[in-house]
Amino acid sequence: MKRFLSLTLLFTLFLAACETAASPAPTVVPPTAAEAPIAIVEPQTLTVFAAASLTDAFTEIGKSFETANPGVTVTFNFAGSQALRTQIEEGASVDVFASASGKEMDALVTGKFVADGVKQIFLNNKLVVILPSDNPARLEALEDIAKPGIKLVLAAEEVPVGNYARQALDLMNASFGVDFKDKVLANVVSNEDNVKQVVAKVQLGEADAGIVYTSDVVAATDLKTIEIPAELNVIAKYPIAPLTASTHADLAKVFVDYVLSAEGQATLQKWGFAPVK
């Protein structure tokens, strides 16, 4: 009897072992998309040199570009286009240059800092006369800026907006007299390095008037203005291009494309520029 029980027990253990061996392996379920490891984006810094007049618009564009491109940081250097060109020529590390003047961009093309044929015009701008909010000189018409004793501030002649202002004064001679430009320039009390400095001087009451871009008035709502008629105005065309020495050439091109996109152009228009698309 004991022998029968022992054989029965052994037979039962043998069946249990067989069932265990025959059981299928557990199914491994792959992680869902939400549980999958997140790809690490290598951080990149894009350096953009841009005309001072672009400060507000490009700051907004830069933030939007960063949001659309995780891991990218856009660093700006805003100054007069002529100063930025000099910095590039002296070896500054730059990915994109946005100038208020074709002259500065063309100089970089000649120097092989920008490849021939890649620059693109991305906006237009024009000039306006600005006055302090209290207008102490009581200026009402464009020809008033030639009155003796008026304190006028301009950007220096080598600064794009300063050069455009002097071109506009040449046009005004035909309407206000051949000596109009000379009378206006005799009233200049300061020649600034960039357009933002002109705006600041007028806001602080250190000048009775200044000549800047219409886009500058959007960010300086406290100022009064005197319009310059189209026939006496100068249209500034702004070029943009990646630098040949950019260490982020593909990203630089993407940034330029974004500036020229519908979204980028809408932001420029919001800040008072005339988009080209």
Please give the pLDDT value at position 19.
Answer: 47
- Please give the sequence-ordered ranges of beta strands (E in DSSP) within the chain, or none if there are none: 44-51, 72-79, 96-98, 120-125, 127-131, 152-155, 188-192, 209-213, 224-227, 236-242, 274-275
CATH number at residue 207: 3.40.190.10
Residues (pLDDT < 70) of the chain are: 1-41
- Say if 81 falls within a structural domain: yes
Please give the pLDDT value at position 9.
Answer: 41
Please give the tally of structural domains in the chain: 2
Query: What's the pLDDT tens digit per position in 1-17?
Result: 444 334 444 444 444 44
- Say if 142 falls within a structural domain: yes
Please give the pLDDT value at position 51.
Answer: 98
pTM of the model as a whole: 0.83
- Say if 30 falls within a structural domain: no
Q: Residue 210: CA atoms inside 13 Å, Cβ hemisphere, count?
A: 34
Domain range for 108 is 44-124+237-275
Asked if residue 138 and residue 97 are part of one domain, the reply reads no
- Say if 61 falls within a structural domain: yes
Please give the pLDDT value at position 219.
Answer: 87
Asked if residue 247 and residue 211 are part of one domain, the reply reads no
- Say if 4 falls within a structural domain: no
Asked if residue 114 and residue 55 are part of one domain, the reply reads yes
Asked if residue 217 and residue 153 are part of one domain, the reply reads yes
Asked if residue 209 and residue 138 are part of one domain, the reply reads yes
Asked if residue 244 and residue 225 are part of one domain, the reply reads no
Measure Cα distances from 201 to 69, 113, 136, 224, 244 in Å: 38, 34, 14, 14, 37
Strands 72-79 and 236-242: unpaired
Asked if residue 194 and residue 73 are part of one domain, the reply reads no
Asked if residue 98 and residue 155 are part of one domain, the reply reads no
Query: What's the pLDDT tens digit per position in 30-45?
Result: 433 333 333 446 899 9
